[in-house]
Chains A and B, each alone.
Chain A
């Protein structure tokens, strides 16, 4: 029998290294498990009131729905104001995944933190944990109706005719909607929906009223920065002659994002008319330095009102540039008078048929004050 050559390890501590490697794998496994561990059933069980859906980094759409995850695995998705039948099904935690109805969420996409439930990362939906606070809806209505209430972040004008104005106390911008109280469990919610014209157009954030006294009320809701308990002080009673009116331009939709609704005029069938209008109404401002791209944006709401006009320019080097006011004023006037009207934007359509807001964008290339191109 041949003697086996003695195995010589090039590195004497190789066995230790191998053992160390397994230790590292084990540690990583433990770390991975802790990171991927989802929410516990206890954390998720309960009723969750919709706050909003984060559709962009600076743009949220209020969520008027609730989710109920019961201990007996029943699942319910419904409207807080009871305006629709709830969708009923079951829910479960399956390993590191959560299932709601037939939707199986990837690991770590359903999270609870500080009584907020966040679902998803693409367009996260935020819900807050619901605590039932018993209130009498009839007496709450009597206390709130026909009065102005103000917190540090919001002023609410609750008109007796069912209309409501929401005002930002800092910017003084005021929007008009409709209001009513809705009971959910034993709680009372202030539901604000619709626009200045009718009850359609979506919902504003819900407020759960927790306490009402003659000169003060408290409510839980989204105050623009966080879900918080806001204290509203009574400002004064509204006189019967006062009516809800928007201050400044208001879109008809409560959830309007210009980026997704933009109509580029150069891509519409109206381009020929646009060319004609520019030829007719624009008097070139012949100045050497008036070259580059000029973009004008504005919004026309469902009733044909225009607003949110914005002018931006870049030079031929694509650095920000302010164009001569003689030039921009002409183009803004043209936009206001001829383009921001339904007859131009939606030809052949009766005003009543126009039910949505339209964001409009127009970019022109200028050379020495002359319009040389309309960009697509």
Chain B
């Protein structure tokens, strides 16, 4: 239903608005208005937040999350961060959600680190989940973004090793292996990166991201023929994925790879041959 409303609203600004379209659109809007529907945050604009005050005492954590999403969608960073900080003091378990937002939405790594550490400290002996990732993985990404690769490797390993020991390596998200491999490459330990990338490839064999990082690791080891094959694989998988998907797609927002980037490296390798 929410999606229907969203697309109806979007289409108000799309063209070919003849009379038939207007009658149809009015019918749809009448139907949308038959219930006092809760407005999804991404289309609420100012309506969703106009009455709310930051000091509203009876608000739940969910209400706070809604406000944070709304303000982030509107790119009102001042309000979004004010709500997040207020939320952290009222609901300590939300440190994880807040840390993840500072990391992935605002790229504010010092604040992300502060909140992720606070979240991790709530249950010191347990690697809690935040969304689809354990907190250790997000801590690893934060340290990596701050340029501290040894600490990033430590935290990536906490998440990967505990899961691998308990359930087997096939249960580890392949992106986690890739992230650790990226840190190994950054500190010139390409051999270790290759081990991780082999494991990642076992868990997702059609990954352009894994093939690209494998190419980088091999390039660092000066195994240029193998590197070229890996980059060619990456290019092939990237194009195959592009054909399969209609929208813009990144396998992993934390480790973006671009088609042009792969082509450039391939051209460079051709020249050096």
| Contact surface of A with B, Cβ cutoff 8 Å | 50, 53, 55-59, 61, 63-65, 77-79, 81-87, 100-101, 103-106, 109, 119-125, 200-203, 252-253, 255-257, 259-261, 267-269, 271-273, 293, 295, 302, 312, 314, 318-320, 355-357, 361, 363, 365, 372-373, 375-376
Contacts of B260 in A (CB 8 A): 272-273
Asked if residues A65 and B23 are in contact (CB atoms below 8 Å), the reply is: yes
Contacting residues, chain B, for A357 (C-beta < 8 A): 13
Interface size on B, residues (CB 8 A): 51
Q: Which of B13, B35, B73, B78 has the most CB of A within 10 A?
A: B13
Q: Are A375 and B29 in contact (CB under 8 A)?
A: no
Q: Which residues of A contact B18 (CB under 8 A)?
A: 83-84, 200
Cα(A267)–Cα(B249), bound, Å = 8
Of B102-110, B177-185, B229-237, which binds chain A? B102-110
Tell me if B36 and A365 are in contact (CB < 8 A).
no
Between A and B, 12 residue pairs with Cβ closer than 8 Å are A64-B22, A79-B23, A85-B20, A123-B32, A256-B13, A267-B248, A312-B75, A318-B81, A318-B82, A363-B75, A373-B107, A375-B107
The CA-CA distance from A312 to B76 in the complex, in Å, is: 10
Contact of B261 with A by CB under 8 A: yes
Other A-B pairs, 10, CB within 8 Å; known A200-B16, A355-B15, A365-B106: A77-B30, A101-B27, A109-B35, A200-B17, A256-B13, A260-B10, A271-B256, A272-B258, A318-B82, A363-B75
Name which residue of chain B comes closest to A54, CB basis: B47
Check B255 for interface membership: any CB of A closer than 8 A. no
The smallest C-beta distance from B137 to any residue of chain A, in angstroms, reads 18
If A257-B13, A268-B248 touch, whether A121 touches B258 (CB-CB below 8 Å) is no
User: Inter-chain contact count A-B, CB under 8 Å?
Assistant: 161
Contact A77–B23 (Cβ < 8 Å): yes
Most buried by A among B16, B30, B82, B105: B30
Are A56 and B17 interface neighbours, CB within 8 A? no
**B58 at the A/B interface (Cβ < 8 Å)?**
no
With A267-B248, A356-B15 as contacts: A77 and B256 at CB distance below 8 Å: no
User: Measuring CB to CB, which residues of chain B are less than 8 angstroms from any residue of chain A?
Assistant: 5, 9-10, 12-20, 22-23, 26-27, 29-37, 39, 43-47, 50, 73-75, 77-78, 81-82, 104-108, 248, 253, 256, 258-261
